[in-house]
Amino acid sequence: MYRKPDKQRTIDDFILPFSGKLSADNRWVKLAQIIPWDEIEKEYAFMFPSDRGNVAKPVRMALGTLIIQVRCGFTDRETVQQITENPYLQYFIGLKEYQLTKPFTPVALVKFRKRFNAKRLAKINELILKAETAQKSEEEDKKQKDNHNNDGSGGISEETEAPNIPEDGVNQGILILDATCTPADMRFPTDLGLLNEAREKLDMIIDTLHEANGKVSKRPRTYRLKARRDYLSVSKQKSPRKEQLRKAVKKQL
C-alpha cells in the first residue's frame, strides 16, 4: 500500500526545535532542489497497486536514503544513525521536522534497494540529469539578463567572460557526469562465478590460438568438462559451506 504525500517539503517547511532555519547553501538542500521527486513518485506509486496493508515509506525517504548511503559510503546502520543526528539529512529524505527518534530501522534499507533495481535507477538518474541541466540553463539565462541590465548595451560586459567556443565556431554541447544513483555491480575477486567465466574465456583463447597454428600440435589438455561439472555441483547449491567454496575456487584456479 502506498499513500502519496500532500506536497514535497521545501526548506521553509522544515521545523527545527531550537529555532533558526536551514542554510540554503548546504549541499543536501541544493541536491533536494535538483531531484524531481514528483516525477519519480509517479512511477514509484505503481509498485504498490494494492490499497491494503502497511503504508510504504515515501519515495523521497526511500530513494533519498539510498543516495545518502552511496554518496557517503555508509553501512546500513551508520546511514540510519547519520540521518538521526543530522537535520539536513532528515530534510533531504522529506521529514517535516527534526526528530530524535530513528525514522526507520536498518532493515528497511534492504527493502529500499529491492525497489530500485539497476534499470529503475538508470531511469531516475536520467531524470536528475535533465532537471539539473534545466536548472543550470535557467541560472545562465538569469545571469545573462543581469549582465544585460547592468551593462545597458545588450552585449557582453567587460566583467563577463565570453563562452569557450571551438575554432570552428560550433558549440559541441555540455557534458554532465553524475554518479548519484550508479549501482555497484562489482563482484569480489575470488567469486566462484567470476573464476568460471575467466576459465571459459581462457579456453576460448586456447582454441583460437590452436586453430591459428593450423592444428599442427595437439591441443593442451585443460579438463574443461570436468571443471564445468565441478563448478555446477557447487553453484547449484543454495548455501554451500565455506570448505566447499574454498575447494571449488582452488579447482577453478
Locate the domains of the chain by residue range.
Answer: 1-185, 192-252
CA dihedral 103, 105, 111, 113 (to 10 degrees): 80
Measured between alpha carbons, how far is 181 from 39 in angstroms, rounded to an integer?
16
| CA 91, 94, 100, 105 torsion-angle sign | negative
**Residue closest to 26 by CA, chosen among 80, 71, 88:** 88
CA dihedral 90, 1, 106, 83 (to 10 degrees): 0
Res 190: pLDDT: 59
- What is the grid cell recorded at 238? 543454495
Please list, in sequence order, all residues whose beta carbon lies within 8 angstroms of the beta carbon of residue 183, skipping any fewer than 6 positions away.
117, 118, 121
Name 15's bridge partners: 97
Residue, of 148 and 213, whose pLDDT is higher: 213
Res 158: pLDDT: 44
Res 234: pLDDT: 86
pTM to 2 decimal places: 0.50
Model pLDDT for residues 127-147, shown as the tens digit of each residue: 888 888 887 888 788 888 877
Number of C-alpha atoms within 13 angstroms, CB side, residue 61? Answer: 21
Mean pLDDT over 199-218 rounds to 84
Residue 112 CA, chain-centre distance (Å), reads 12
- 76 pLDDT band, cuts 50/70/90, is very high
Residue 162 has pLDDT above 50, yes or no: no
Residue 148 CA, chain-centre distance (Å), reads 39
Q: Angle 59-72/37-45 helices, nearest 10 degrees?
A: 120
Give the helix ranges, DSSP H, for the chain.
27-34, 37-45, 59-72, 76-85, 87-92, 107-115, 118-151, 192-212, 224-235, 242-252
- 157 pLDDT band, cuts 50/70/90, is very low
Residue 3 has pLDDT above 70, yes or no: no
- 118 pLDDT band, cuts 50/70/90, is confident
